[in-house]
Chains A and B, each alone.
Chain A
Amino acid sequence: MATATASRLTFRKPSVIPGFGLTFGLTLTWLCLIVLLPLSALFLKTSELSFDRLLVIMSNARTLHALQISFGLSLAAAAINLVFGGLVVWVLVRYDFPFKRVVDAIIDIPFALPTAVAGIALTTLYAENGWIGSLLAPLGIQVSFTPLGILVALVFIGLPFVVRTVQPVLADLDAELEDAAASLGATRGQTIWRVVLPSIWPALLTGFAMAFARAVGEYGSVIFIAGNLPGVSEIAPLLIVIRLEEFRYADATAIASVMLLASFVLLFIINRLQHWAESRGGRER
């Protein structure tokens, strides 16, 4: 009996705990129904398109520009978050200041605040008569309804990814390394550049990639502030929605598969980066 069970389920180790068949089966079924089957519908619909049709859709100037805006500005926003997110982590982990716990908690606001709320708040803030927009207007800087506005929204939603990825790694960093560097005569700048930064670099890159991945697909917080001018400030997710509303399903599907493919590639890269980050730096316990 025991051997029969073992040979039937060779892909798992035998255990006295019951319920594997039931829970594993339910997990797989639910996963397929909610996630895998719907996702494969997208690829099925894309494969129905001829290659020429796909090429026409993807080489459309409006499509190309939307993709360029989405990927380009997401990259810029992730880079800004890499610098300022890194700075925020440094200040939060290393320094003491009043209301530090409150400041630490509000980092998660972009995670918790619904994107539509963030969208209308940022738009109003940076509009010409808004709190910040009215200060920038005399300088000739317009944020709301321009690509700059998209950048602001993408910085907002990406920040916690960098901070929350790097924070535990910097907190766990062995302080003795820095003491050693200092006692060997390194200046503070050298210690940070050559000892601290290499240790947190994999985590910083992971956070950067996560912020980028999130920004590429972001919709809610961007569409209010973007102005959504085709060819100027139109992001790829919005173009998918517009094509869908025009009943141009082929176009919507093709753009969506490109974006889905990009997110799979990013997911793979983030996965590798996380392995790298865990294999070095202060993660050993």
Chain B
Amino acid sequence: MSALEPAALAQPLASDGPPTLTKQARAQNGHRPARTEPAAVRIALTLIALAFLGLFIGLPLLLVFVEAFKRGAAAYVAALSDPDALAAIRLTLLVAAISVTANVIFGLVASWAIAKFEFAGKSLLITLIDLPFSVSPVVAGLIYVLLFGSQGLLAAPLQAWDIKIIFALPGIVLATIFVTFPFVARELIPLMQEQGTAEEEAAISLGASGLSTFFRVTLPNVKWALLYGVLLCNARAMGEFGAVSVVSGHVRGLTNTMPLHIEILYNEYQFGASFAVASLLALLALVTLIAKTVLESRLAEEEPR
């Protein structure tokens, strides 16, 4: 009877059904149910999870490359060397270069102000920097049309000076900067906050100027986080579709970025060419993920202990 006593004690705790005697007996023998499930359950759950991931993520990714090369290497090369495709690739690289640069400068400036000083309203400022993440890409494009478009709030002065923003490069760049706005800053701010200000204070009190403190102390401390932010920012900048689609005007060879070029080809039933261009962006995504995985281990080194 004594062996059963723990079961009697445990019963009021377990109202979802009394534990079975056999389990209690096993528990007494030291074979208590450990922190895991029976092997059959483990295998079943793993298979369900892998099937789900394969279905929703693995297959679409695989399909991009299969469709891109289905019509042979010659068709693939032809699709990518088409003048419109080349123009789209060039525009995408240009837009990404400008917006990543802008966001790196902003990210460094903002994280210096936020992480190295204590001031009122800091968390509000961080929330505002994160804001573009929660705005629909289409809305992001629309707000620039409302501002700079032919019916926009600033239409009159822009026309007077003959400046074209919407349906031109500046609009595409602005929309891209908007959707990638938080990427660099949000990687830097938490890390720089954790690292504190002791090293900078030491450098300043030893006579270093503010700039040389930044370049010699702060920047080396956050270089991997910066690179990480740049990587994610670049992937999003090159792949942005919704916001750019609203402001671009889809002029072939002029204001078509790679994602927009993919859309046009697809809608014209040029599936092979469409997937060929898509495979380049998919490759970029894969490279980004691999670099991200490598960087994450480096990032762990930057965390203060």
Q: How many residues of B contact A (CB 8 A)?
A: 111
Interface residues of A in 203-250 (CB under 8 A from B): 213, 216-220, 224, 237-238, 240-241, 244, 247, 249
Return chain A residues, CB-CB under 8 Å to B242: 115, 219-220, 237
A42 to B246, CA, bound (A): 15
Q: Which of A56-64, A83-91, A276-284 contacts B (4 or more CB under 8 A)?
A: A83-91
Contact yes or no, B60 A219, CB < 8 A: no
Contact yes or no, B131 A90, CB < 8 A: no
Contact yes or no, A113 B35, CB < 8 A: no
Contact yes or no, B52 A240, CB < 8 A: no
Smallest Cβ-Cβ distance to A12: which chain B residue:
B119
Q: Say if the beta carbon of A138 comes within 8 Å of chain B.
A: no
Smallest Cβ-Cβ distance to A30: which chain B residue:
B106
Q: Say if the beta carbon of B169 comes within 8 Å of chain A.
A: no
Shortest C-beta distance, A38 to chain B (Å), equals: 4
Per-residue interface assignment for chain A, residues 32 to 49, with 1 indicating a CB less than 8 Å from any chain B CB and 0 otherwise:
001111110110110000
Given A13-B119, A107-B57, A184-B10: A259 touches B136 (CB 8 Å cut-off): yes
Smallest Cβ-Cβ distance to A213: which chain B residue:
B134
Q: Say if the beta carbon of B77 comes within 8 Å of chain A.
A: no
Given A34-B177, A103-B53, A116-B263: A217 touches B137 (CB 8 Å cut-off): yes
Given A156-B57, A193-B16: A17 touches B143 (CB 8 Å cut-off): no
Q: Say if the beta carbon of A122 comes within 8 Å of chain B.
A: yes
Contact yes or no, A117 B204, CB < 8 A: no
Interface residues of B in 164-193 (CB under 8 A from A): 174, 177-178, 181
Q: Say if the beta carbon of B72 comes within 8 Å of chain A.
A: no
Contact yes or no, A42 B45, CB < 8 A: no
Contact yes or no, A125 B49, CB < 8 A: no
> A101, A124, A259 — which one has the most chain B CB atoms within 10 A of its CB?
A124
Contact yes or no, B142 A252, CB < 8 A: yes
A210 to B120, CA, bound (A): 28
Contact yes or no, B7 A44, CB < 8 A: no
A186 to B241, CA, bound (A): 51
Per-residue interface assignment for chain B, residues 215 to 246, with 1 indicating a CB less than 8 Å from any chain A CB and 0 otherwise:
00000000000000000100100111110011
Return chain B residues, CB-CB under 8 Å to A27: 106, 109-110, 113-114, 125
Q: Say if the beta carbon of A51 comes within 8 Å of chain B.
A: no
> A30, A152, A189, A218 — which one has the most chain B CB atoms within 10 A of its CB?
A30
Shortest C-beta distance, B57 to chain A (Å), equals: 5
A90 to B48, CA, bound (A): 12
Smallest Cβ-Cβ distance to A36: which chain B residue:
B128
Interface residues of A in 146-196 (CB under 8 A from B): 152, 155-156, 159, 175, 178-179, 182-191, 193
Q: Say if the beta carbon of A260 comes within 8 Å of chain B.
A: yes
Q: Which among A11, A16, A219, A267 is the interface contact of B241 at CB below 8 angstroms?
A: A219
A116 to B88, CA, bound (A): 14
Interface residues of B in 95-120 (CB under 8 A from A): 106, 109-110, 112-114, 116-120
Return chain A residues, CB-CB under 8 Å to B67: 121, 124
Return chain A residues, CB-CB under 8 Å to B106: 26-27, 30
Specify the main secondary structure of chain A where it touches its partner: helix
Shortest C-beta distance, A259 to chain B (Å), equals: 6
Smallest Cβ-Cβ distance to A88: which chain B residue:
B49
Return chain B residues, CB-CB under 8 Å to A179: 34-35
Chain A interface residue number, banded: 35 or more
Q: Say if the beta carbon of A118 comes within 8 Å of chain B.
A: yes
Contact yes or no, A185 B27, CB < 8 A: yes
A249 to B266, CA, bound (A): 28
Smallest Cβ-Cβ distance to B261: which chain A residue:
A116
Interface residues of B in 240-296 (CB under 8 A from A): 240-242, 245-246, 258-260, 262-263, 266, 271, 274-275, 278, 281-282, 285-286, 288-290, 292-293
> B109, B117, B242 — which one has the most chain A CB atoms within 10 A of its CB?
B242
A-B contact pairs, 25 of them (CB 8 A): A15-B116, A17-B201, A18-B209, A23-B109, A23-B112, A26-B106, A34-B181, A38-B144, A39-B143, A42-B139, A84-B49, A94-B36, A106-B61, A107-B53, A112-B288, A115-B242, A116-B239, A125-B63, A156-B56, A193-B16, A217-B135, A237-B139, A256-B136, A263-B139, A264-B134
Interface residues of B (CB under 8 A from A): 6-7, 9-11, 13-14, 16-17, 19, 23-24, 27, 32-37, 42, 45-46, 48-50, 52-53, 55-61, 63-64, 67, 106, 109-110, 112-114, 116-121, 125, 127-129, 131-132, 134-139, 142-147, 151-153, 174, 177-178, 181, 197, 200-201, 204-205, 209-210, 213-214, 232, 235, 238-242, 245-246, 258-260, 262-263, 266, 271, 274-275, 278, 281-282, 285-286, 288-290, 292-293
Task: Give the 4 A-B residue pairs with the shortest CB-CB distance, closest first.
Answer: A114-B239, A217-B136, A185-B10, A12-B119
- Please give 18 more A-B residue pairs, beta carbons under 8 A apart, in addition to A113-B60, A114-B258: A11-B119, A11-B121, A15-B118, A23-B113, A27-B125, A35-B178, A37-B147, A103-B50, A107-B57, A109-B289, A113-B285, A115-B259, A116-B239, A120-B271, A183-B32, A184-B13, A185-B10, A185-B27
